[in-house]
Chain A
Amino acid sequence: MTTIHIIIAIFVLFAMSRTYLRLKDGELNIFAFIFWMLNWVLVAIIGFWPGVTQRIADIIGIDRGIDTVVYFSILALFYLIYRLYVKIEHLEQDITKVVRDEALDKFNDKSNE
């Protein structure tokens, strides 16, 4: 076992424990929990057996295994950013709705006076 294997093992165990704690707190639902657990398992597999990525690279026609990992990571990150943006946008709309309803309530109260 090399140093990088030890680092990856510690990181994956730490990430898995945090994910489990979030599930216990009720902050993650079961589907999000499974998604993140699979994600960490994938990190561990790639960390311990990098040859796997070469096999995938050969199948989809990319030269090096590490490139495949980087390409897919960037895609995944972009998708996560998009999801975050959408979530923030929905939150912003919810805030506006609350502020608007408050202003309209006062407006109607005044109109009825």
Chain B
Amino acid sequence: MATYQSKICVVVPAFNEGSVIKGVLTSLKDAHYSNIIVVDDGSEDETFKAASSAGVRVMRHSINRGLGGALGTGLKAATYTDCEVVVTFDADGQHAVDDIERVALPILNGKADVVIGSRLKNHKGMPWYRVMMNMTGNFVTYLLFGVWCSDTQSGLRAFSHDAATKIRIHTNRMEVSSEIIREIGRRELKMQEVPIKAIYTDYSLSKGQSLFTGIKTFFKLILHRLMH
């Protein structure tokens, strides 16, 4: 009998994560996920080598295009595989592998098209300024695109194969997280949120969005609202 893991394709966008990515990929493989696609977004460090040595499929952007660029590439590649669910998973080690099952199950059971793993349903351990920034992100996304989600900036999401095919990603950088929420509304996809853990290490915190990136993302989102 096919296990649920064999129905899932895990997409891992990565930019300069050479020091941690192998550990993340090993833990995914140890949990019996075999359909893993890493998108190395033009890293300048050992990311490509480290990911390749973990025995997973690695795609490479010849130049850095940002999170949106990498996610778009990964989602598209995943739709070429015969998976039922596509899960996006951050390369910095902030997600727990166990949570993949939680976000994938509602789709495997036919209850949702897209599931967002929300770190804010239970934000114990998240630094207060992160909570504030994420809340602002949610509010801005709601104002611009009319869809409420408790953690728009979450990196752990699951899409049905069909939803991954329908979603169109135009943005290149951090604004992609809000764009995905917009696409959920626009394509009338059924969305669910499930609480997930966030593992905050000094490393994953240093990789997160700064206030400056947040402000830049805000202006980009408004521009995109005007453009599309």
Binding site for B on A (CB under 8 A): 82, 85-86, 89, 92-93, 95-96, 99-100, 102-104, 106-108, 110-111
Contact = CB atoms under 8 A, between A and B. Distances in A.
Contacts of B57: 107, 110-111
A106 B69 CA distance: 16
A93 B77 CA distance: 18
B67 to A, nearest CB: 11
A103 B72 contact: no
Contacts of A95: 63, 65
A85 B221 CA distance: 13
Given A100-B72, A104-B73, A111-B80, A92 B172 contact: yes
Contact of A89 (B39, B59, B63, B227): B227
Contacts of A110: 57
17 contacts: A89-B227, A92-B172, A96-B68, A96-B69, A96-B72, A96-B172, A99-B42, A99-B61, A99-B63, A103-B60, A103-B73, A103-B77, A104-B76, A107-B37, A107-B77, A107-B80, A108-B80
A86 B65 CA distance: 17
> Size range of the interface on B?
20 to 34
Nearest to A85: B223
Given A92-B172, A106-B59, A100 B223 contact: no
Given A86-B223, A96-B72, A103 B80 contact: no
Nearest to B40: A103
A83 B57 CA distance: 40
B170 interface: yes
Given A93-B170, A110-B57, A100 B76 contact: yes
Determine the main DSSP class of A at the interface with B: helix
Interface string B51-66: 0000001011111010
Contacts of A96: 65, 68-69, 72, 172
A92 B227 CA distance: 14
B63 A104 contact: no
Q: Which of B42, B59, B224 has the most CB of A within 10 A?
A: B59
A104 B65 contact: no
Could you say which of A82, A92, A104 has the most chain B C-beta atoms within 10 Å of its C-beta? A92
Contacts of B68: 96
A99 B77 contact: no
A97 to B, nearest CB: 9
A62 B61 CA distance: 54
A107 B37 CA distance: 10
A92 B176 CA distance: 14
A18 B170 CA distance: 36
Contacts of A102: 62
